[in-house]
Structures are given as C-alpha cells and as structure tokens.
Amino acid sequence: MANHNPPPTAYVNAHLLDPDSGLDQAGALLTDGERIADLGPNLFGDGVPDGVAVVDCEGHYLCPGLVDMHVHLREPGHEHKETIATGCAAAAAGGVTSMACMPNTMPVIDDVALIEFIQRRAREAASVKVYPFAAVTRGLEGKQITEMGMLAEAGAVGFTDDGLPIADSLVMRRALSYASTFGLLISQHAEDLSLSGCGCMAEGEVATRLGLPGIPEVSEVVVVERDLRLVELTGGRYHVAHISTSEGIEAVRKAKARGLAVSCEAAPHHFTLTDDAVGDYRTYAKMAPPLRSEANRQAVVAGLKDGTIDAIATDHAPHDQESKRVTMAHAANGVVGLETMLALALELYHQGEIPLLDVLQRMTVGPADLLALPAGRLKRGAPADLLLFDAALPWQIDNDRFHSKSRNSPFDGREVRGRALRTVVDGRTVYTYDA
C-alpha cells in the first residue's frame, strides 16, 4: 500500500500463533518489504543480520492481523459518524489489518464508480486494507439486482443489502442464482421486518418490564430457513450476517451437514451481552439484531466453539450522539466495535470456552477465506499483516479514548484483558500501543 518498501524487520522473542497451520510456539519472524520472508522457532539462532531492523516482542503473541468482514465506515454520505480514515485508525488500534465495509452508504455502493471511490479513499488513508461489499439490489430497494459480475471484477468481495433484509423470495432466488455463476457470496441481514414491526429490543421478560415493543426470535429464523431452501435450489453461496438466535444457528448447522455452501458470523456483543444490558433504556445497547436471552448468548458461544459460526465480525456501526441520545423507539441501531473486538473475543479464551488458536481462527483465516482475501496466515510469501498482542493485559474500555469518530459502545467501563500492542500492514507499523 505504501509507495516504498519498508525495510527488512526481525520480530524476535515472539510467541508465534498461526491458526491455519496450528503453529503455537516461541520463535521469530522476518518481514522483507511487504511480505513475510521467513518464520520459525530457530530463526536468528546466530543473531539478526546487519541492516535488519529489530522488534523485541518480549514473549508476547505474534499472529496474523485480524480480518473483520462486517464494518460500516459511513463514507460516503455520513462522514460526521465515521470516515474511511478514522475507521482505519480505529481498526489499527484494535489489531485489525483487513476489513470489509458495508454498502449502505449514501449513495449506496451499487456501481463500479463507488467501488473505485472506496478503494481510492482507502489508499489515501494508507493504513488498514479496506475491501468493499456491494449491494445485492440497486439502492438497497430489494427489487432490481445489481451487476454483480462487473462489481466483483472491480473489487467487490461479496454482496449484501445489509441493514435491510432481501425480503422478496424471488429476488433472493435470482440473486443466489446469478451469484452462483461467478462463485460470489451473498450475505443476508436475516430479519423479517413484518414480524419485527416497531420492536426496539428482543421480545422477552426485559422488554415486558420496560414496556418496550419486542422483536421475536422467529423474525431471524424464518428468513434463514427460507434462504436455506433457496440455496438448495440455486447452489448459491450464502452467509448469515450477525447471527443471534439458537434456532438460526441450528438451521445453519444442519445446512452445513447437508453440504450446502453456507456460512455465518457472530458479533462480539451477541456472545458477551444479553438483553439485560438494555437495563434502564440504554440506547447504546440497541442494535439489529437485538441483544437476546442468555440461552441465545450461549448458543452463539457453542456455534463459535464447534465451527458452525465461521467468523467473529464486529458489525462496527458508528453513530453520532444525536442518533443515540433519544428514546429507545427513535434511537439508531448499532455499536462501534473495532477497538474492542480482540479483548471481547479473548473472553472466550480466558473463560475456558474456546482455545486461543480457535478464537483467533474466527478472526483471521476464517473470514479471509470466506471473502477469498490474501490475509489471515503466517507463512512465507504471505502479506506482512501482523498483530502483536498481550493476551493478559488488563484494561478498562473507555469510550472517550476511541480512535473512531463515534462513541456508541455499550461496553464503556467494562474490565477486559488483552490488547493490541503493535499492528503491522504490508510490513509497515500502523499502530503501537502507548500505555
């Protein structure tokens, strides 16, 4: 991404972690320019050669940079909430080296010119790699399918009307059918809006107590189950964004067992919080899909554990104060997540739920492979996209210290462990932690 090659750099005294190969041992890694030149336990046994810069990792973990396949960067159209540049800064601080941005911008990313705009702005930011999703339907109107072949050729890594479900079954069938001829991924925001109605949190005891209209679990499940039938019919590649219900996850599990090309992702807030977080009408805990019951939270953890859920993705959705400091009914959906993803995902490891390599797999090679990105692996010749992190470092999430333009996180004040110390993209350091 840079105009000049960064110098050769030796990362010594590292604990190397590569979820793809299963590498989990002390060692060193050498970058040369934008690529990984070598790595292993015995590298630099005779010392680092002259002319090579040295980074002492002090025994901390060195792994592939994180890949976030679901990010809202708000540009073009809502730059007061986030820009590609500020989103990249937030990603770098969170250890994310590649991210895929959603097309529900203004104008919508539904033609080649918009794909090129995103790519150009990402190059200008010159830090984290940004890959655009394009819309499935023109203007996100759910009617006319976009020119997916041309958009993919221009650089779209997948297709989604995220924020809005594709409600019309015939349109979804055509989209899956068209995409399957190119092997393209269709990602669905699985929600039946007629069932969700004016709901502003999950249906259940908390909603009843607060007197708020609820969103039933079935609004996710019926769309997932319909779409899986259409996948069977068309042979398309189908992905459920931010899956949140036990029945939705079980439907995907069964579809995978039948050999369908189906995948899904979960957001950190859906495996770390429940609808209790809405508490006393906290709009920072309002999102779509909503925070759900403890049983659903546990189902998400189980899905991540057994691999039914392929990726952890933030659904980073920045909003200005005016969009959140209103009543629950009128508040915008969404939370920022790029800077808290690593620490929240590591809770799964610290609590003994999921092994560390498996947690990292869901944030590196898992999403990278779904989007066919050259990312997520520590191996010779791979891009030098690296994350150095301290898994045990305790800290308190503080919304006021985010690099993002927005502050809408329900995790403000939460005590967590695990922090990015250094983020490297194409051999260049784009972030270092300053305690």
Residue ranges making up the domain that contains 128: 66-370
DSSP 403: S
Q: Are residues 79 and 58 in the same domain?
A: no
Q: Are residues 185 and 221 in the same domain?
A: yes
Residues 6+ apart with CB under 8 A from 389: 60, 61, 63, 95, 342, 418, 419, 420, 421
Q: Are residues 389 and 277 in the same domain?
A: no
Catalytic residue among 275, 315, 385, 426: 315
Number of domains into which the chain is organized: 2
Q: Are residues 318 and 359 in the same domain?
A: yes
* pLDDT tens per residue across span 28-48: 999 999 999 999 999 998 899
CA separation for the pair 372, 155 (Å, rounded):
11
- 1: in domain: no
> Which CATH number characterizes residue 214's domain?
3.20.20.140
| AA letter at 300 | V
Residues 6+ apart with CB under 8 A from 126: 1, 2
Q: What is the pLDDT of residue 2?
A: 45
CA separation for the pair 306, 302 (Å, rounded):
6
Q: What is the pTM of this model?
A: 0.97
| Spans of the chain below 50 pLDDT | 1-2
Contact 331, 324 (CB under 8 A): yes
Q: Are residues 346 and 295 in the same domain?
A: yes
Residues 6+ apart with CB under 8 A from 193: 165, 167, 219
Q: Provide the greatest CA pair distance for the chain.
A: 69
Q: What is the pLDDT of residue 3?
A: 52
Residue length of the chain: 435
* DSSP state string for 338-380: TTTHHHHHHHHHHTTSS-HHHHHHTTTHHHHHHTT-S-S---T
* pLDDT tens per residue across span 245-260: 999 999 999 999 999 9
Q: Are residues 152 and 133 in the same domain?
A: yes
Q: What is the pLDDT of residue 318?
A: 98
Q: Are residues 103 and 83 in the same domain?
A: yes
Q: Are residues 298 and 396 in the same domain?
A: no
- 375: in domain: no
CA atoms within 13 A on the CB side of 138: 6
CA separation for the pair 70, 312 (Å, rounded):
9
Domain final position from 345, 370, 395: 370
Q: What is the pLDDT of residue 286?
A: 97
Domain final position from 324, 343, 370: 370
Q: What is the pLDDT of residue 5?
A: 86
Confirm whether 192 is a catalytic residue.
Answer: no
- 378: in domain: no
> Which CATH number characterizes residue 415's domain?
2.30.40.10
Q: What is the pLDDT of residue 126?
A: 81
Q: Are residues 136 and 281 in the same domain?
A: yes
Q: Are residues 401 and 322 in the same domain?
A: no
Q: Are residues 339 and 262 in the same domain?
A: yes
DSSP 290: P
Helix (H) or strand (E) run with residue 210 in it:
helix 205-210
Q: Are residues 343 and 391 in the same domain?
A: no
